Amino acid sequence: MTNRKLRIAQIAPLWIPVPPKTYGGIELMLSVLVEELCDRGWSISLFASEDSLTKANLIPATPRALWLRKDLRSPHAVIVRLIKMVCDRRHNFDVIHNHFDFFMFPLLMNHECPPVLTTLHRPIDEESARVARSFPKMNFCAISQDQRQSAEEKKLKVVDVIYNGIDPKIYPFNKNPEDYFIYLGRLNQEKGIIQAIQVAMAAGVRLIVAGNVAGPVEWNYFLHEVQPFLNEEGIQFVGEVSFAEKIQFLKKAKGLLFPIDRREPFGLVMIEAMACGTPVIAFNQGSVPEVVVDGKTGFIVKDKDEMVGAIKKIDSIKRLDCRRHVEQNFTLKQMVDKYEKLYQRLTN
């Protein structure tokens, strides 16, 4: 196996900038991956919105991220242009790393395209799996063993499993939390925002709710289903938060509530919380048992009643164990080391 530094195209979703200013787990992971690869001497080109910030060679496909272009009537026209931009430059790259889901699959319709790796950042539904099976040359990377199982059940070719990783140095450890719990994520049904509020109310604890809403369906759900709960006693709604604000809320919390209602591919916020020393109480869905050590870095529960019970036991968790778990299993170095090996493998 050669150890030469490869020329790698990284393709970002165009919805928000890289790194994200508030919400954006995919964009955050892509940003830290790209910056670390640049620091290691790789030749990286990042296809993203022009309002992104990176050490890589930024190739902008849109002046601003699509969600910020309020007057844009045809976002998919921009995506088609992105496909053309990458295809025109395909000979400049040894590997194309796609983080933009099925939108980039048409690249493989060109027989001169270099190997394309798609990291599966989202749950895999049957329609997206049907599309994926139409491109047998695509290489898929899962972000948890459960997601690999989900993909293989749908007959997708998974070449590796690489957990998301963070730099623990930018997540300060806090051994003395304040008297509140936190929900941090999209304010939609599958993320379990209403369940989190109901659990906090039943347990009689204060809950800070931080997150965002995207698209008309989510806004309808938020306005009609979620917003009435935000006036309840003990519930503090802070909305979208910056990265610095997120860290402050996470590190001071007694625990993170993660009542996920989907087959979770990874759950970045769980390792962000644990890096700060904050234990996680999560429903047993998807990757959760791979990320949280039940009884040591938090509690894995089956329903709201068990989550209420876990809240009452939160002081039994040693916050230093949460931090060490992340340092041993979910670091940026571990993630990038594995991607480096995978890039080399795809080109040999």
pLDDT at 141 (0 to 100): 98
267 and 149 in a single domain? The answer is no
67 lies in some domain: yes
Give the CATH number, domain containing residue 257.
3.40.50.2000
324 and 337 in a single domain? The answer is no
1 lies in some domain: no
Give the pLDDT confidence of 255-293 residue by residue, as tens digits: 999 999 999 999 999 999 999 999 999 999 999 999 999
140 and 214 in a single domain? The answer is no
141 lies in some domain: yes
Helix intervals (H) in the chain = 25-39, 75-88, 126-133, 145-153, 193-203, 215-221, 243-252, 268-275, 288-291, 304-312, 319-329, 332-346
| Cβ proximity of 271 and 295 under 8 Å | no
pLDDT at 300 (0 to 100): 98
13 lies in some domain: yes
173 lies in some domain: yes
CA atoms within 13 A on the CB side of 265: 19
Q: Mean pLDDT across the stretch 44-49? A: 98
| Cβ proximity of 251 and 174 under 8 Å | yes
Give the pLDDT confidence of 155-202 residue by residue, as tens digits: 998 999 999 999 999 999 999 999 999 999 999 999 999 999 999 999
Give the pLDDT confidence of 214-242 residue by residue, as tens digits: 888 999 999 999 999 998 999 999 999 99
Rounded to whole angstroms, the Cα distance separating 124 from 275 reads 28
Q: Is the pLDDT of residue 16 over 70?
A: yes
Cβ partners under 8 Å of residue 291, min gap 6: 144, 266, 267, 270, 271, 280, 330
256 and 233 in a single domain? The answer is yes
Cα-only R_g, the chain: 20
154 and 197 in a single domain? The answer is no
Q: Mean pLDDT across the stretch 54-61? A: 97
Rounded to whole angstroms, the Cα distance separating 214 from 107 reads 28
161 and 172 in a single domain? The answer is no
58 and 152 in a single domain? The answer is yes
pLDDT at 247 (0 to 100): 96
pLDDT at 216 (0 to 100): 87
Tell me the pLDDT of the chain averaged across its residues. Answer: 95
pLDDT at 2 (0 to 100): 52
pLDDT at 3 (0 to 100): 67
11 and 141 in a single domain? The answer is yes
Neighbours of 259 (CB within 10 A): 22
pLDDT at 1 (0 to 100): 41
Neighbours of 38 (CB within 10 A): 16
pLDDT at 214 (0 to 100): 81
Give the pLDDT confidence of 148-166 residue by residue, as tens digits: 999 999 999 899 999 999 9
| Angle subtended at Cα 276 by Cα 274 and Cα 32, rounded to the nearest 5 degrees | 85
Give the pLDDT confidence of 121-139 residue by residue, as tens digits: 999 999 999 999 999 999 9
Kindly state the percentage of the chain with pLDDT values over 70: 99
Rounded to whole angstroms, the Cα distance separating 40 from 52 reads 20
pLDDT at 283 (0 to 100): 98
- Structural domain for 58, as ranges: 7-165+331-346
Q: Is the pLDDT of residue 110 over 80?
A: yes
Q: Is the pLDDT of residue 310 over 80?
A: yes
Q: Mean pLDDT across the stretch 97-102? A: 96
Q: Is the pLDDT of residue 67 over 90?
A: no
Domain count, the chain: 2
188 and 208 in a single domain? The answer is yes
295 and 194 in a single domain? The answer is yes
244 and 128 in a single domain? The answer is no
Rounded to whole angstroms, the Cα distance separating 102 from 90 reads 18
40 and 123 in a single domain? The answer is yes
47: exposed, middle or buried (C-beta count within 10 Å: 0-12, 13-18, 19+)?
A: buried
